[in-house]
Amino acid sequence: MNSISSPVITETSTFAIDVEEGLSKYPKQLSSKYFYDAAGDQLFQDIMAMPEYYLTNCEYDIFTQQKAAILEAFGEAPFELIELGAGDGTKTKILLDYFLQQEADFTYRPIDISGNVLTQLTAACAEQFPKLKVDPVKGDYTEALAQIKQEDNHRRKVVLFLGGNIGNFPLPNAKVFIKELAICLSAGDLLLTGFDLKKDPKIVQLAYDDPAGITAAFNLNLLTRINKELGGAFDVDKFMHWETYNPLSGEARSYIVSKEEQLVQIEQLQLSVHFEAWEAIAVEVSAKYSERDIIELAEETGFTVNQNFVDPKAYFMDSLWELKV
């Protein structure tokens, strides 16, 4: 199996610093990138299998039905296929399989902050696609991209940013992030990003607040992770998941809400966190886009839109951009 390279900053120390900062400020905040420990990875796979979480099936349909057009749009020259936040690569494997069948010349470089999911993905690729060249990088997007930029081998880059990943940035932050990404790329490099499109708010709301409570378990697992990794004393039953969707901003937002006033110790941080009754921690943004938002984002970050790939229900769009000179 390929070895996983990893930037120098340790994950635990960054997690500790961010938890301390996020729970010490008001309003409280924790980043959704910390959802993904081994339990979180499994819960996210359960979310992808839920009927309410339409995003996975929509992008699956796009890739299954339009993979030939996608490869054609990528062009024939050899490329590095870099995937930001690859997860278990369920949908990406449709493209990898097809690209290999077509004898496209590429190396697959999945990036993920979760070492667990990256190890699983690398092992699955080795088994399923023995001929595929896989070069995984474990780390936060920005650190991992800086590493790729540093070792630049002048190969053309095609970056995948699939599923709901870009949605985890509020729109102004998405702009900043894509500009940072563009610095790691060269003119003519490509970016294929998944955008969840604005739609009936009821459909969006249900995707993040399913009746079976899988999303609630996924979000609350963040408290369990703090208990395990930082010696936290959260009683998860004293907190609840809350979801809102604002059709004007296009932002679905997830919160963890304290059901009572309480004081929670986090031993390794030597921190006591006070919660008022019904005080919330903001944990995730899942932004939805209109086609107009997508075009504006491309233009404001130095890209041109080459082609859009949309599912039959028009719920989701994979938009292919090229970095301008």
Ligand X SMILES: C[S@@+](CC[C@H](N)C(=O)[O-])C[C@H]1O[C@@H](n2cnc3c(N)ncnc32)[C@H](O)[C@@H]1O
**Least distance from ligand X to the Cβ atom of residue 199, Å:** 18
> Contacts by 219-223 with C-beta closer than 8 Å and gap 24+?
219/35, 219/254, 219/256, 219/283, 219/284, 220/256, 221/35, 221/37, 221/39, 221/40, 221/43, 222/30, 222/34, 222/35, 222/40, 222/256, 222/283, 223/256
Asked if the peptide bond before residue 27 counts as cis, ω within 30 degrees of 0, the response is yes
Q: Which listed residue (11, 61, 80, 140) binds ligand X by CB under 6 A?
A: 140
Instruction: Measure the CA–CA gap between 36 and 48, rounded to whole angstroms.
Output: 14
* Helix and strand numbers, DSSP H then E, in the chain: 10, 14
Task: Report the site for ligand X in 202-241 (rule: CB under 6 A).
Answer: none
Helix (H) or strand (E) holding 173: helix 171-183
Q: How far is CA 19 from the centre of its chain?
A: 19
Total binding residues for ligand X by CB under 6 A?
Answer: 19
Contact string (CB under 6 A) for ligand X, positions 62-101, x = contact:
-----------------------xxx--xx----------
User: Toward ligand X, which CB reaches closer, 32 or 258?
Assistant: 32
Q: 37 vs 80, which CB is nearer to ligand X?
A: 37
Instruction: Retrieve residue 201's tokens.
Output: 């708010």
Please list, in sequence order, all residues whose beta carbon lies within 8 angstroms of the beta carbon of residue 150, skipping any fewer than 6 positions away: none
Written as six digits, the tokens of 307 are 């082609």
Report if residue 141 touches ligand X, rule: CB under 6 A.
Answer: yes
> Which residue from 54, 62, 63, 114 is in contact with ligand X, where contact means CB under 6 A?
114
Task: Select from 15, 36, 108, 245 the one that contacts ligand X (CB under 6 A).
Answer: 36
CB 229 within 8 A of CB 15: yes
Among 33, 109, 225, 288, binds ligand X (CB under 6 A): 33
Least Å distance, CB 77 to ligand X, is 25
Least separation in angstroms between residue 187's CB and ligand X is 25
Closest CA to 307 of 294, 288, 290, 293: 294
Work out the angle between the directed axes of helices 38-48 and 214-230 (0-180°, nearest 10): 170
Binding string, 44-63, against ligand X, x = CB under 6 A? x-------------------
Nearer to ligand X, 132 or 273 (CB): 132
Nearer to ligand X, 275 or 315 (CB): 315
Residue 117 binds ligand X (CB under 6 A): yes
CB 87 → ligand X: shortest distance, Å? 3
Residue nearer to ligand X on the CB measure, 99 or 141: 141
Nearest approach, Cβ of residue 244 and ligand X (Å): 19
Beta partners for 307?
A: 320
Asked if 164 touches ligand X (CB under 6 A), the answer is yes
Instruction: Output the CA–CA distances (angstroms, integers) from residue 236 to 21, 133, 219, 228, 241, in the order listed.
Output: 20, 42, 11, 13, 10
Sign of CA dihedral 3, 4, 9, 15: negative
Of the pair 23, 86, the CB lying nearest ligand X is at: 86
Distance CA 41, CA 35 (A): 8
Least Cβ distance, residue 41 to ligand X (angstroms): 7
Location of structure tokens 């290999």 = 100
The answer to whether 157 contacts ligand X (rule: CB under 6 A) is: no
Which one of 22, 110, 136, 163 is in contact with ligand X (CB under 6 A)? 163
Say whether residue 279 binds ligand X (CB under 6 A).
no
CB of 76 to ligand X, least distance (A): 26
Q: Which residues of this chain interact with ligand X, rule CB under 6 A?
A: 33, 36, 44, 85-87, 90-91, 111-114, 117, 140-141, 162-165
